[in-house]
Amino acid sequence: MSSAARRASHPALANGDGEYGPEEDEEEEEGDEGDEPEEEPRLKYQRLGGSVPAILSTDAAAAIAVTDRAVLLGTHDGTLHILDFQGNQSKEIKAHTATINDISFEDREYIGSCSDDGTVVISNLFTDEKLKFEYHRPMKAIALDPQYSRSNNRFATGGLAGQVLVLTKKSWVSGYNKKVLREGEGPIHSMKWRTDLLAWANDAGVKVHDMKTDRGIAFIEKPKGIPRPEVLLPHLVWQDDTVLVIGWGTSVKIAAIRTDSSQGLNGMQRSISAASSEKYVDIVGSFQTGYHISGIAPFGDLLVMLAYIPEEDDGDKKNSTSVSSRQGTAQRPEIHLVSWKNDVLTTDALPIHGYEHYKAKDYTLAHAPFSGSSNAGGQWAAGDEPLYYIVSPKDIVVAKPRDTEDHIAWLLQHGWHEKALAAVEAGQGRTELLDEVGTRYLDHLIIERKYAEAAQLCPKLLRGSPSAWERWVFHFAHLRQLPVLIPYIPIENPQLSDTAYEVALVALTTNASFHGLLLTTLKSWPPTLYSASPVISAIEPQLNSSSMTNSLKEALAELYVINSQYEKALSLFAELLKPEVFEFIEKHNLHDAIHDKVVNLMLLDCKRAVHLLIQHRDIIPPYEVVEQLLHASKSCDKKYLLHQYLHALFEVDIHAGKDYHDMQLELYADYEPRMLLPFLRTSQHYRLDKAYEIFAQKEFVKEQVFVLGRMGNAKEALSTIINKLEDIQEAVEFVTEQHDDELWDELIRQCLQKPEMVGMLLEHTVGNLDPLYIVSLVPDGLEIPKLRDRLVKIVTDYRTETSLRHGCNDILKADCVNLLVKYYHEARRGVCMASMDEEAQGARVNEGSSRTGDRSSTLRNLEMKSRTRCGARCCLCFDPLSIQDMSFIVFYCCHAYHQSCLEGGLDSMKSNSNARDSDEGSEDDDGSPSGESRMRCVLCTTAAA
C-alpha cells in the first residue's frame, strides 16, 4: 500500500454557504513527514447546506438516492425529503412511519422507498400521487425498473422475509401481479436494477437475474470472514450496463456480464449456462481491503470507497463476524480512490459531525448519475463530473472530482507556482484565475528574494492591468528592487500614471550601477509619460559629488532637453564630449552659450569647433577663445588647438587675430613651417626681432632672410642666402627685389670668394647685370669650373636678348607711326553741329540708333560746340555761328563754317580734285572711300595747296 494510503489527509470541508468550516478534533499523525512527495487529491468535499442542517437537527438521515434532478433523503422518522443540489428542500413526503431503509428512482418522476414499518411506497416527484404496499415485515431494499413508467410500473423489493418480489401493474384491472423470484436464502440486504439486469444480496451472496429472459445468470458467494449483515451491509453498484461492483465487508469483487464464451480477464469464469447465446458473469477484479466498506461507487475507471476503520486490538485489525466497538472511540471515515487492483491513489479522512459514535452501517454512499466519458489525469470534462454523497445520521458531505481550478489551487498551496501558471496559461480554468495565480507567484518569488525572476514574469502575469502594474511598481520600489523591474514596465497597452514612471526613474538615480540603465530608459521612454522635474531634482544634488557618473550626467542632459533647459543640457553635452553637440547648438541657436565651452568643443572635434568659432567670432571674440585655450588643462595639446584656430582665423581675416601674430609665428614654426613665409609676407602685426629669434632658434634660413630684409639688414640677409642656402638664384632674386645697386656689388664680392659661385652668378645675372662687368672683376688666375661653357651660354643668351630687343623696338616704332597717321586723319574730319531744336528732334527720331553710336563722338561734339559758341564766326561769311535754325561744321583745327557756306566754297574745289583722285587711287588722303562726299577745312586745304 502506498504512502498516500498509509497516511490519510484531512481535507477542510466547505459549508453550504461556500465558506470553509472548522475541522473538528483533528489530530496530527505521528511519523516522519516529507519522506515522499504528497500526492494531489482527486476529490474535494463540501457539506450539504440549505435545509439539511435544520432537517437533521430533529431527525437523522437513513437513506439517500441522487437523480439528475434532485437529491432524495430518507430519515428515521419515515419522511422523504426532496432536495435540490444545494440542499434546499423543495418537497416533503410523509411516506412511512419508521426508518426508510432504501430509496430507488425512475428517470422521469417516480420514487420508490421502503421502510422498517413493512411498507413500500411509490411517490410522484411532481404530484401528490402515492401508492403504498403493506408487507408486515421490515423491507430493506427496493429497485424500480429503469423503464418503470413504460413497463407497467414494475419494481422489485425485498426484506427480512427473504423473498425477492417483483410487482407488475395489471393491464385490465386494478392491482399488481406479484412474483417471487427467490426465497429461502435469508433476508434481502441490497438490490440494484440496471437495464434488464437485477442484482440483489442476501445472506448467501449476490445473485444476478436477467429480467428479460427471466433467468438467473450468476451467483457470487458471500465473502468469508466478514461481519454479519446486521453490522456491515453489502453494497452493490452498477458501474455501467455490464459491470457490477460488489463491496462487502473487506472484500471487493468486480463482475462483468458477458454474452459469449470467451474467458474472463482473470480466467475466473463463473457461468450458469454453457450456451454461448446466454449471459454469464466473469469476475474481472477482486481484492481485499484493510478497512470495512461502508459504501462504494464508480469513479471513471476507478472506485470510490467509503472506508470505516475498525478498532484495533494489540495492533491487529478485527475481522471477526461480530464487530464490537466502545462508544465514542470510532475513527474518522475515509474516502479511498483505488484502482481495480487496489492501487490507492488518494486517501482522505472526513471530519464528519459525531463520527466518534457511528458504526460502519451508519454511513451511506450514493453517487449522482454521470456520463463517465473520461477522467484522464484526474480531471473531468464539464458536465461529466459525478457527485458523491457521504451520509451519516447527522451530516451529509458532498464529494466531487477536483477541477482545474482546484488543481491550480493545490499547486499554489504546495509552492509549485510555475506549474500552476502553466496550467492557467494552457487555458485550464477561468481567465480571472491568472490574476490570483500571478499575484501569489510573484509574492512567492519576492519572499524567496528572486526579484529578477519576479520582474521577468510581470509582463506575463500582470498583462494589461494598469492598477496591477502600478501596485507592483510601488511594491518593488518599497523593496528597493525597482531597477530589476524597469526594463519590463510597459509604456503603452497599458500606460501607467506619470507618478509610477517618475518613481521608477528616481530609483535609478540612487546607485551608480543603475545610471547606465537610467540613460537607456530615458532614451527609450517617450517624454510624455512623465515629468522631468522630479528626476532632475533627484540628480542635481549629486552634480559635484563622487557619485556623479558620465551616464548620470548624460541622463541629466536628456532631462534638461525634455524640460527645455537647453543651455544646461549644452554644458553637460560639451563636458561629456558628445559628438552631437554641434547639431544641438545649431538646432537650438545656442551660440551665445558656448563662451566657456571652447576647450571642450575643440577637444571634441577641432575642425568643426574652429569653423563654429570663426563663423560666430562676433559673438565669441578671438581673445576669449585664445584665453580659454591658453588656460586649458595639460591633458590636451592646447598649442595645437591654438594653431588650428589662429590659422583658420588668419585665412578668413588677416587682421582679426593681429594681437596674437607673434604667438602664431611660434605655432607655425612648431606645426606648419610651410606657412611661415606666406604669413610673414601678409601680416604686418608681428615683431621682427621676435620672429628672427624664433627662426634662428629653429634654423629656418629662408624665414631669417625674409625678416632680415624686412629689418633693413639686406647685406646680412644676402650673406645668409649665399653662405647658408648657397642658392645664387635666390640671392639674385633677393637683390633684384631690393633695388639697391650696392647690393649687386656685395653679391659679386661675396661670390668672388667662391669660384663655383662665380660661375653660377654668371648664369643668373643675364638681363640684370652686365656679365662683362663681372668677368672684369674676377682676379687673374681664379679657376672657375665650367667657365668656357658658361661664357658661351652667356654670349648666346645675350645675342638672343639683343635680337629680341631690336625686333621689339622696330615693332614699337611702326605702331607709333600708324597711330600718328590715324590720329591725323581723324583730326581732318569735320563735325556737323546742328541747332538745338534740330538736335532735339533728331534725338527723338533716332533715339534707338543713337544709343549704339560712338560715345566718344558725342563727347567731341559737345567739346567743339563749347569752343565755337560765345561769338564764334563763320570763316567764310564771318557771320556769327549762333544764327537760329542754321547748322554749322567744326573741324579739329578749330575752324568753323556754316554748312551752306562750306558746301558752296567746296564746289569750286571738286573739279580740281577729280583728276587727282583718279590718279591717286580709290581712297582719299583722309582714308575715306572715294564715293563719299568730303568736307575739308577751306582755310587749311587752301594753305596746304
Give pLDDT tens digits for 523-549. 999 999 999 999 999 999 988 888 889
Q: d(Cα 591, Cα 616) in Å, to the nearest integer?
A: 7
* Percent of residues, the chain, with pLDDT higher than 90: 36
Question: Do 464 and 493 meet the contact criterion of CB atoms below 8 Å apart?
Answer: yes
Quickly list DSSP for 560-605.
HHHTT-HHHHHHHHHHTT-TTHHHHHHHHT-GGGGTT-HHHHHHH-
Cis peptide bond prior to 579, omega within 30° of 0: no
CA distance 934 to 139: 173
Segment 399-411 mean pLDDT: 84
Query: Sorting pLDDT into bands at 50, 70 and 90, what band is 59?
Result: very high
- DSSP letters, 896-931, are EEEHHHHHHHHHHHHHHHHHHHHHH-SB-TTS-BTT
Cell matching residue 640? 595645437
| Per-residue confidence band for 899, with pLDDT thresholds at 50, 70 and 90 | confident
In the predicted model, is pLDDT for residue 734 greater than 80?
no
User: Residue 588, exposed/middle/buried by CB under 10 A (0-12, 13-18, 19+)?
Assistant: middle
The structural domains of the chain, with segments of one domain joined by +, span: 687-785, 788-827, 873-906+940-944
- Alpha carbons 456 and 295: distance in angstroms, whole number: 51
Environment class of 677 (CB within 10 Å of its CB; exposed 0-12, middle 13-18, buried 19+): middle
State the DSSP code for 63. Answer: E
Strand order in the sheet with 100-105: 100-105, 110-115, 119-124, 130-134
Could you tell me which residues are beta bridge partners of residue 9?
348
Q: Which of 302-316, 652-666, 688-702 has the lowest mean pLDDT?
A: 302-316
Cα–Cα distance between 665 and 657 in angstroms, integer?
Answer: 12
Task: Evaluate if residue 54 carries a pLDDT over 70.
Answer: yes
Q: Per residue in 824-859, pLDDT tens? A: 777 777 777 665 455 455 545 455 444 434 444 444
How many other CB atoms are found less than 10 A from the CB of residue 271?
Answer: 16
In this predicted structure, the answer to whether residue 4 has a pLDDT above a threshold of 50 is no
Through-space distance between the first and last CA atoms of the chain, rounded to whole angstroms: 167
Min mean pLDDT across 257-261, 302-306, 320-324 is at: 320-324
- Cell numbers representing residue 828 in the block: 581732318
Give the tens place of pLDDT for each residue, 206-261: 999 999 888 889 899 998 888 777 778 899 999 888 899 999 999 999 999 988 65
Q: Detail the DSSP E strand segments found in 402-471.
A: none
247 touches 235 (CB < 8 A): yes
Cβ–Cβ under 8 Å, residues 183 and 219: no
Q: What angle do CA 829, 831, 836 make, to 5 degrees?
A: 180
HEC string for 360-389: HHHCEEEECCCCCCCCHHHCCCCCCCCCEE
Specify the pLDDT at position 638: 87
Distance CA 636, CA 600 (A): 10
Judged by DSSP in three states, 275 sits in: coil
Angle, CA 356 vertex, CA 351 and CA 359 arms, to 5° = 105
pLDDT, position 376: 38
Distance of CA 124 to the CA centre of its chain: 69
Report the Cα 900 to chain-centroid distance in Å: 106
**pLDDT above 90: residue 518:** yes
* pLDDT score of 2: 43
Question: What confidence tier does 631 reach under pLDDT thresholds 50, 70, 90?
Answer: confident
More confident residue, 884 or 377: 884
Residue 165 confidence (pLDDT) above 50: yes
pLDDT at 447 over 60: yes
Q: Output the pLDDT for position 681.
A: 87
What's the alpha-carbon Rg for the chain, to the nearest Å? 67
DSSP letter string over 621-665? -HHHHHHHHHT--TTS-HHHHHHHHHHHHHHH-TTTTGGGHHHHH
Q: Which three cell numbers stand for residue 370?
A: 454521470
Measured CA to CA in angstroms, residue 587 lies from 94, 519, 616, 749, 847 at distances of 97, 22, 15, 68, 58
Average pLDDT of 182-198?
A: 91
What average pLDDT does the segment 58-73 reach?
Answer: 91
CB atoms inside a 10 Å sphere around CB 332: 20
- Check pLDDT > 50 for residue 761: yes
DSSP 818-878: HHHHHHHHHHT-EEEE--HHHHHHHHHHTHHHHHTS-HHHHHHHHHHHHHHTTT-B-TTT-
pLDDT classification of 483: cutoffs 50, 70, 90: very high
The per-residue pLDDT for 182 is: 87
pLDDT band of residue 386 (cuts 50, 70, 90) is: confident
Q: Quickly state the pLDDT bin for 89 (edges 50, 70, 90).
A: very high
By CB neighbour count within 10 A (0-12 exposed, 13-18 middle, 19+ buried), where does 275 fall?
exposed
pLDDT at 930 over 60: no
Rounded to an integer, what distance in angstroms lies between the CA atom of residue 588 and that of residue 239?
Answer: 86
Can you give the pTM of this predicted structure? Answer: 0.58
Long-range contact set of residues 719-727: C-beta below 8 Å, sequence gap at least 24: 719/750, 722/747, 722/750, 722/751, 722/757, 723/750, 725/701, 726/757
Residue 653 pLDDT exceeds 50: yes
Asked if 349 contacts 332 with a C-beta cutoff of 8 angstroms, the reply is yes
Residue 558 CB partners (closer than 8 Å, separation 6+): 519, 522, 523, 569
3-state secondary structure of 258: strand
Collect contacts of 455-464 with beta carbons under 8 A, ≥24 apart: 455/481, 455/484, 455/485, 455/487, 455/488, 456/488, 457/421, 458/485, 458/488, 459/488, 459/490, 460/421, 460/425, 461/421, 461/434, 461/437, 462/438, 463/434, 464/493, 464/494
